[in-house]
Amino acid sequence: MLDVITIGDGMVTMDPKTSGPLRFVNEFERKVGGAELNFAVGSARLGLRTKWISRLGNDEFGRHILHFMRGEGIDVSEVAMVDSFPTSVNFKEVMEGGQGRTFYYREKSPMSTLYAADIKPEMFAKARVLHITGVFPSIAEKNIDIIRRAIAIAKDEGLLVSLDPNIRLKMWRLERARDVLLSFLPDIDILMTGLDEAEMLFGVRDNHDVEKAVKSHGIETFAVKKGANGAYAIHSGEKVEAEAIPVNQVVDTVGAGDGFDAAFIYGILQGWKLERVVDFATLVGSMVVGVRGDNEGLPHLEDALIKMGEKTGIER
């Protein structure tokens, strides 16, 4: 039995040891990252049975990522190690307030060896959710076909399909991103989007207008992530707006949205009331930004419940 499946790139992430423009950074720390990878890690730490479909270079970086994911308890049976295709790398630039940029080096990516025909119905057997993002289809045109096939199989197998648009304008033009992502929406059951991405997709920012636009595509469960301004969501006729969780210091915002997604899906699968789902997802996102790294701040379920005050933690 599986709870969630996701498809996407895995990269070695070089995190700067000092903040500021990348050209002045001399030392880096090797970590791992990727939007779908982060979502898989966040899901597994919350206790969801998680499968990650990917390709890695048959090199030391690829082995490092594979061992890391296996160590998180993630099903990596559909991760293949590919000869002569180096594992992708990215370098992060982090400024004092936690914001930054990412510079990608993913030419001849091992993911270029994955095709739509490789996606088989048996991969989705007895799973509950397929989670996709806008990152993987932005990397190469053929990846759009991979996602379309995955969605079609997931729907045939009775899975819910969730989408985080995660629009990266470094990867594709806005017009192309909008066309592709909007074409996915008729088959999407759960949409989780940032406010800026909602505006890119639908041309609106107001809560009511976003709700109207999303529902016009037949989506009844969605969340809009507004960063420091909290989040709001709609599910099964309920509507909830939550304030942001105060954070002592924001050191790295990468991965916060992926953590929110994992926590939101977790709450929905548990059958929680929407208010608790949104509070939980907002809390998990806030825990991520206080830790440097793409996924180091993604909490285990017990830690999140302690933070929510639903469980007692013993420190000594």
At 195 the three-state DSSP class reads helix
Residue 313, number of CB atoms within 10 A of its CB: 9
Question: What are the pLDDT digits (tens) for 180-207?
Answer: 999 999 999 999 999 999 999 999 999 8
Q: What is the pLDDT of residue 315?
A: 66
Confidence label for 316 from pLDDT (cuts 50, 70 and 90):
low
What is the DSSP pairing of strand 100-105 with strand 4-7?
unpaired
- Is pLDDT of 137 > 70? yes
Q: What confidence tier does 311 reach under pLDDT thresholds 50, 70, 90?
A: confident
Average pLDDT over residues 31-57: 97
Output the average pLDDT for the chain.
Answer: 94
Distances (CA, A) of 140 to 39, 103, 113, 136, 145: 21, 17, 11, 8, 10
The DSSP 8-state label assigned to residue 87 in this structure reads P
Of 9, 189, 258, 279, which is the active-site residue?
A: 258
Asked if residue 262 lies in contact with residue 187, where contact means CB atoms within 8 angstroms, the answer is no
Supply 97's token pair.
């307030």
Q: What percent of the chain has pLDDT over 70?
A: 99
Give pLDDT, residue 91. Answer: 95
Nearest by Cα to 55 from 76, 82, 37, 34: 82
What is this structure's pTM?
A: 0.94
pLDDT, average across residues 17-32: 94
What's the mean pLDDT in 131-144?
96
Query: Is it the case that residue 106 has pLDDT exceeding 90?
Result: no
Q: Residue 83 corresponds to which tokens in the numbers above? A: 């000869």
pLDDT of residue 149: 98
Q: Are 250 and 289 in contact (CB under 8 A)?
A: yes
pLDDT in tens, 225-262: 998 889 999 998 899 999 988 888 887 788 899 999 99
**Of 121-130, 170-179, 242-251, 296-305, where does mean pLDDT reach its minimum?**
242-251
Confidence of residue 95 (pLDDT cuts 50, 70, 90): confident
Residue 312 has pLDDT above 80, yes or no: no
Is-catalytic flag, 59? no
Name every residue whose Cβ is closer than 8 Å to that of residue 220 and which is 6 or more positions away in sequence: 234, 235, 236
Question: Taking residues 145-162, what's their average pLDDT?
Answer: 98
Tens-place pLDDT, residues 62-80 = 999 999 999 999 999 999 9
90 within 8 A of 33, measured Cβ to Cβ: yes
